[in-house]
Structure 1
Amino acid sequence: MDRFDPLWLATVQAVFSADSPVGKAVLDRGLRYVFINKTLAAFNGCSIEDHLGHTVEEILPEAYPILAPLLHGVLEGSAPHAEFRVSVEMPHAPGALSEWEATYLPIPMEDGTVGGVYVQAVNLTAKLLAEQALANSEKQLRRVLDSLFAFVGVMSPDGTLLEANRAPLKAAGIDAQDVLGRPFWETYWWSYSPEIQDWMRQACVRAAQGQVVRKDVTARMVDDTRMTLDFMLVPMRDDNDRITHLIPSAIDISDRLAAQQRTESALRERTVLLQEVHHRVKNNLQIIASLLNLQARNVAPEASQALQDSQNRVVAMALTHQLLYERNDFSTLELGPYLRRLMASLRDAHGEIRHRVDLRVDAPDSGLSIDLNQAVPVALVVNELLINALKHGFGVDGQGEVAVRAEWSDQRIAVTVADTGKGLPAGFDFRTFSSLGLRLVTLLTEQLGAEMRWPMAGQPGSVFTLLLPTGVRPS
């Protein structure tokens, strides 16, 4: 070691202290380690300190018989050995051969002699194992992709198809060489339609710009059949956020669409059936109302009034089914349109009153809907309150106004029937009153789980408010 130039030694020491994937060492003429980097020391299975001052034979006893002729040949001035391969047994892996690619170079001295050997070595075993692991990983990935029924591929950013798994090839009855290396939009799956090809070309452009593209598309399959796909095109980026590839993927949704179409067809049939049911119920109720009207013409005045009241109730129920039929919605009923229709019906039924009593409705056309199971009870309650106001509120020749209002009130729908008539008589108690109409109001309010706010007795005018439990007000 003393024979080596100090400047050269300092340079070698600096080089050897730097990290490198290549193993490096300096041997003197006795084949003792003068320098060794940590990469080669790790390959040999010893620390750097354990190498220094020891011979190759001491560190690598099993490999030395193979390495010795090569090393001595360099010391004796023969040609250097560059990038040769050798298989040797290493101390840390007895019984297993390790593949190396090595270079042995003579270190010339100032007097022209060889002062030692420069060693550079790469452990090919680790490299080969890594390459084999990568190859096995790629094979495993290929097996996984080929076992998927989904369609998966890899494209370059310009839209050239580089890889495709087995599923889309088998489904189309084609081989990989038929589509790989071609622009994706020109492949068999899309070439049946210029419109599809143009869309696919634009999709590749958008994905190359960083967009994720998704759409249901129709692809051509074996024997020129068609398959509907949920298609997605996603850009793949590297660590520097550069788009390196485009990943097309798709799943067959033909069965799902067929099931959806069957469901939609069944829903249409159900809608038609329910329409017919409500239409027939409405017609039957109107027949009953007409029969009651005919009956009322041939009985005493007291009985005629009772039949007229019953007719009004039947008409109120018929109106409910008429609106459900017209709106094509069999789950809810909008209060605004219903109340206006009900008021018009009562105005027609009480023609003698409408010239002196103003009837009006204050309710929105939408936004105040009630459940179907609430519709008929609410209709009957409002009908009874309106009839009560018209019959008892204004006498024979009184004038005034009857108003129906519907609105939201503290997460409940409030339906108010108010009149400017005489009001309830003093001492009135709804719990003991014998009127059939108001008894119906009480029973129907309980059935709805609602709250009825009664007007003050003995005062002019009446205000009835029905508060319906409907849950949270829609936004």
Structure 2
Amino acid sequence: MLEYIYIDQKAVGSNPTILLSMSRASDRRLIRKNIPAHFNVIDDTASSFSQFKYDLCITDLNSYKANRQELVDVKKRDLPVFLPIVLLVENSKILKHDPKIWDEVDDVIEVPVPIKMLNMRIKNQLRSRKNSLKIARQNEKLRILEKAVNSTDVGIVISDAQAEDEPLIFANDGFIELTGYSRDEILGQNCRFLQDDDRDQDAVDEVGQLIRNGEKGRSILRNYKKDGTPFWNELSIAPVEDTDGKVSHFIGIQNDVTELIETQKELKEEKNLLRLVTENSADMISRHTLDGTYLYITPSCKQLMGYTPEELMGRNAFEFMHPDDVERVDEEHKVLHEGPVNTDTVTSIFRKRTKSGEYKWVESVSHSSVNPEDNSIVEIQTNTRDISTRKKYEDELNKALDEKDVLLQEVHHRVKNNLAIISGLLQIQQFDSDNEHLNKILGNSVSRIKSMALIHEKLYRSHSLSHLNFKEYIEELIESIRKSHNYAENITINIDCDNTKLNVNQAVPCALALNEIISNAIGHAFPDNREGAIWVKFKEDGEKLRASVKDNGIGIPDSVLNNEKPSMGMTIVETLIRQLNAEKEILTEDGTEFNFTFTRQDVKGAHNRFM
């Protein structure tokens, strides 16, 4: 709209441009000669007027009639800026035949006219143009300002401070959207209509005081939208003064801060709850610098250490730690403030000195607090509790467990010795007997007793009283069997066992079964002192355990396999395998291979009938 305005306001006032549209060249020269020299003059009447930018047009009647429509169009083009046309006529009465000219031109001057009069009337028209230009600029600024105000998300209103009850005279689109009211429902009302009947608020009085004093300020009020929905309104008001210095209007900027207020309320409740928990917790909660200096500590420190929080603030936590614990605890906490950020917690148990000088056993759980801006560790937060009673019970329990271990070792030792005595008695009876069948039975019994005694010996010498290394046991068992049989020197025994830990309640039946199978292989698979080999394997696959004894001897008789001829050894093996819930497999190709597979179980208690 303003692109055609002669923007340089100084030019209108100091160097205006005059367009001369006159039919006679002599008249143009006369005008040019007598108007002020600082005026810029255009008298190129042969060109289109629309291509020129000028501040005033001087024309005569003949030229005006010839260029009437173009001059009027250019004048309309410059609206809302005033573009004056001055018409020079010899007698104004001749215009009565065309009265519309009076509406189209801005001044009619009869000639001849004194030069001073002509210049005065020209300057009056230029002054009017200058004022219209100023008004147009102001209106354009107001239009841009109104557009900007309506584009903002916040509500903006203007009230008339000099009218009764300070009614609203302007409301932007943001205010309409904020409140749900239409512009017609808003204008003319006092802004307090948003409070509905909820006017017993301290903020209402604060806003009223600001208006009465003509001051700017900010308050948060509880307001209501058109549909009755409450919202928290952050209101900022500022007075506008007129030229006399009196407050003429108030500008109010309104922002919905409901979410912020509700969040602050929740945070305040959580903070109060946290304070209630921390200040009433039996545990001592504290914050430290990285070197251990107290930054904050809960009142429970009085109960734990005998100090008040004020007495501990600024002091170092390591100052109250037992000297023998300082180095260890410091090393444990290095992970919290060295290297990359660690979100894990560190638990430490140490002795803490109280105000009375005694030491209490405490347990602390610490973690680091991180600055989110640069991911740096800024402090350590710790929860400390008194575990003196727990520590006392743990010491008593550990002492009792140590005594129990000693007692169990003694039991295993005595059982092993008693089994050795029984084995010795059977061997004495075997030496005194000439009955070969009886001696064989006694020999087998001695072997079985020795296999059980060996388990108790291993447990007695082991750190664990319930589990034993079964690989080591098998190696010693085979050595014991080898010594008890005359044919062992002619037989090669190969061992391939995994380093397996086995519960004693599974170890006993498994050991007895292997004792029977290996003894039978040594005693029956290689008659007539023939040479041979036995392969003993014990493998684990997860929780599955597989025992295997293979020989390259004469093989097991079919009568024994088919239970046609009862065998004491086979009966014992079958019983032990059932006790292990094992699966049995006997292969008779190229000798005999006896396999059984069972699942590892941590059987507790005296479940083994052979123990």
> For this structure pair, what is the TM-score category when the shorter chain's length is used for normalisation?
0.7 to 0.9
Deviation at 1:343, TM superposition (A): 1.7
What is the deviation of 1:397? 3.4
Q: Tell me the SS of whatever aligns to 2:527.
A: coil
Cα deviation, 1:126-184, whole Å, max 9, x if unaligned, reads 9999989876664443222111222223457786644322112442222222233x265
| Alpha-carbon distance between aligned partners in 1 of 2:322 and 2:540, rounded to the nearest angstrom | 59
Q: So what's the TM-score if we normalise by structure 2?
A: 0.59
User: Which of 118, 135, 141 is matched with 2:274 structurally?
Assistant: 141
The residue that corresponds to 1:338 in the other structure is 473
Partner-residue secondary structure (3-state), 2:563? coil
From the superposition, tell whether residues 292 and 52 of structure 1 become closer, same or farther in structure 2 (CA, over 3 Å): closer
Structure 1 residues 168 and 358, CA, compared in 2 at 3 Å: closer, same or farther? Answer: same
1:175 aligns with 2:304: no
Residue 291 of structure 1 pairs with residue 425 of structure 2? yes
CA drift at 1:194: 9.6
Cα pair 2:487 2:523 within 8 Å, conserved: no
Tell me what 2:592 maps to.
Answer: 463
Could you tell me whether the CA contact under 8 Å between 2:284 and 2:298 is conserved in 1? yes
Maintained 8 Å contact 1:414/1:466 = yes
Partner amino acid, structure 1, of 2:385 = I
SS in 1 for 2:584: strand
- Judged with a 3 Å threshold, the aligned counterparts in structure 2 of structure 1 residues 47 and 293 are, in CA distance, closer, same or farther, namely same
1:419 counterpart letter in structure 2: D
169 and 245 in structure 1: CA distance in 2 versus 1, 3 angstrom threshold: same
The farther-off stretch of 341-350 and 256-265 is 256-265
Task: Show the 5 A alignment for 1:2-41.
Answer: 5-7=138-140, 9-10=142-143, 12-13=145-146, 14-15=148-149, 17-19=151-153, 25-27=158-160, 29-30=162-163, 31-36=166-171
Distance 1:234 1:196 in 2: 19
Task: Return the offset for 1:280.
Answer: 1.0
Deviations 1:396-434 (A, max 9, x none): 432323332323479743323333333334655441223
Write the deviation string for residues 184-235 of structure 1: whole angstroms up to 9, x where unpaired. 547x645978936993997598179733451314332331232322230321
Alignment partner of 1:443 out of 575, 579, 584: 575
- In structure 2, the CA distance between the partners of 1:470 and 1:151, relative to structure 1 (3 Å rule), is same
Matched, 1:301 2:435: yes
Check the 8 A contact 2:551/2:593 in 1, yes or no.
no
Larger relative contact order (Cα-Cα within 8 Å, sequence gap ≥ 6): 1
The AA in structure 1 aligned to 2:413 is H
Q: Match of 2:465, SS? A: coil
C-alpha separation in 2, matches of 1:204 and 1:429 = 66
1:227-246 matches, cutoff 5 A: 227-238=361-372, 246=380
Q: Which of 274, 295, 313 is matched with 2:448 structurally? A: 313
Q: Partners in 2 of 1:365 and 1:89 — Cα distance?
A: 79
Letter in 1 for 2:427: N
Q: Find the structure with the greater CA-based Rg.
A: 2
SS at 2:188's partner residue?
A: coil
Counterpart-to-counterpart distance in 1, 2:223 and 2:535: 103
Return the letter of the residue paired with 1:403: W
Gaps of 5+ in 2: 1-134, 602-611
CA separation in 2, counterparts of 1:84 and 1:323? 89
Q: Is the 8 A contact 2:482 2:488 kept in 1?
A: yes
- 1:206-285 maps to which residues of 2 (within 5 A)? 206=337, 210-212=341-343, 214-218=346-350, 219-224=352-357, 225-238=359-372, 246-285=380-419
Structure 2 CA distance for partners of 1:137 and 1:398, relative to 1, 3 Å: closer
CA distance in 1, matches of 2:222, 2:511: 98
User: SS in structure 1 opposite 2:337?
Assistant: helix
Letter of the structure 2 residue corresponding to residue 451 of structure 1: E
C-alpha distance in 1 between matches for 2:529 and 2:335: 81
Contact 2:217 2:237 in 1 (8 A): yes
Cα deviation, residue 106, structure 1: 1.2
Shift of 1:89: 11
Deviations 1:253-304 (A, max 9, x none): 4444444333333332222222111111111111111111111122123222
| 1:373 and 2:494 aligned | no
Match of 1:360 among 480, 487, 493: 493
Provide the residue aligned with 1:327 in structure 2.
Answer: 462
Letter of the 2:591 counterpart: S
Aligned letter for 2:597? Answer: L
8 A Cα contact 2:161 2:248, kept in partner = yes
Q: Which amino acid aligns with 2:215?
A: A
Secondary structure of 1:278's match?
helix
- In the superposition, relative to structure 1, how do residues 189 and 101 fare at CA in structure 2: closer, same or farther (>3 Å)? farther
CA RMSD of aligned residues (A): 4.8
Query: Aligned partners of 1:99 and 1:385: how far apart in 2?
Result: 93
Please report how far the alpha carbon of residue 70 of structure 1 lies from its aligned counterpart in structure 2 after TM superposition: 8.6
Q: Deviation at 1:305?
A: 2.5
When normalised by structure 1's length, the TM-score is 0.74
Q: Distance in 2 between matches of 1:394 and 1:226?
A: 71
8 Å Cα contact 2:287-2:380 kept in structure 1 = yes
What is the CA-CA distance between 1:308 and the residue it aligns to?
A: 1.8
Change in 2 beyond 3 A, CA 1:105/1:406? same
Partner SS for 1:297: helix
Counterpart secondary structure, 1:272? helix
